[in-house]
Amino acid sequence: MTATTSKSNADLDSTAHIMNLISDQLATQLSLVSRDGTRRPAPPALVLVAHGSRDPRALATVRTLMERVREQRPGLAVHLGHIELNEPLLPDTLAALGDREAVLVPLLLSRGYHVKQDIPEMAAAAEARTRLAAPLGPHPLLVETLRSRLVEAGWRTRTSAARRRRSAVVLAAAGSRDPEAALDTGRTARLLADRLGVPVLPAYASAAAPTVPEAVRTLTAAGHTDIAVASYFTAPGRFARECAEAAPGITAAPLGAHPSMASLILHRYDESLTTGTKTLPALASA
């Protein structure tokens, strides 16, 4: 191929890229205009609610995930608020929204105190008109992300029947005293077991049993010698590190900014607008 031909192809690729960008921007603008030519109201903002962590990698991961959400849904206002430990804190994010509408999407994997108490109380104290989406889990997109992370860590998707009988996975999660959190994690474990074709046993870093070492001993006693750990955490942090240190074999990375995670966040956002999720009340004036 001549230099002239290469340059021509590069010019065509560049032109196609620019045309695609223009088409995407035009589609976004047209979506804001109704058939009678009037401008549709802007959709509610999406507020990603993260827990917060002292590990700087967690904040970097959440910010990357937020950018992926924006890439998948151009034109949607996407904000970030933390329950604790990192800025911006959720009350500050909501205060900056004024009285606008917003959907709060917890970057949490199950029901528990944060979803049932902390986030609703923070939202009720704000002027913004908010509704709370469901936590991310359980959901098939989480299962696909867990499988993807395991494969990245060395999990074999094609193996002999004998090796499959020896294999098992520990689903390492944060843990909660709320029994519904354990139900949600257990359902994810069953979905992952169905997807992988091997036993998957939930384990917890705190507040619940079994621990990862206990789960490993249970699986070993059942004859499983090839045991991997799936990291059921949204981002790196102390719990994820401690669970990885207890793993006897391969350990997957946390869910992180996987594209499926961004898709799931938008699914929870859309779901909250179409399924009649209850709007969070504002606190009465003193």
11-16's contacts with Cβ under 8 Å and 24+ in sequence apart are none
- Distance between first and last Cα of the chain: 76
CA atoms within 13 A on the CB side of 99: 0
Q: By three-state DSSP, how is residue 90 classified? A: helix
Tokens 């999990």 sit on residue: 155
CB environment 37-48: b (16+ within 10 A), e (fewer):
eeeeeebbbbbb
Is the previous residue joined to 88 through a cis bond, with omega within 30 degrees of 0?
A: yes
Contact 260, 145 (CB under 8 A): yes
Of the candidates 76, 97, 89, the residue with the CA atom closest to the CA atom of residue 119: 89
CB environment 173-182: b (16+ within 10 A), e (fewer):
bbbbebeebb
Distance between alpha carbon 137 and the CA centroid of its chain, in Å? Answer: 8
Rounded distance, CA 205 to CA 55, Å?
A: 16
Catalytic residue among 51, 82, 224, 258: 51
Q: What are the two backbone dihedrals, phi and then psi, of residue 76, each rounded to the nearest 5 degrees?
A: -85, 130
Structure tokens at 268: 């929870």
Does 139 qualify as catalytic in the annotation?
no
Active site residues: 51
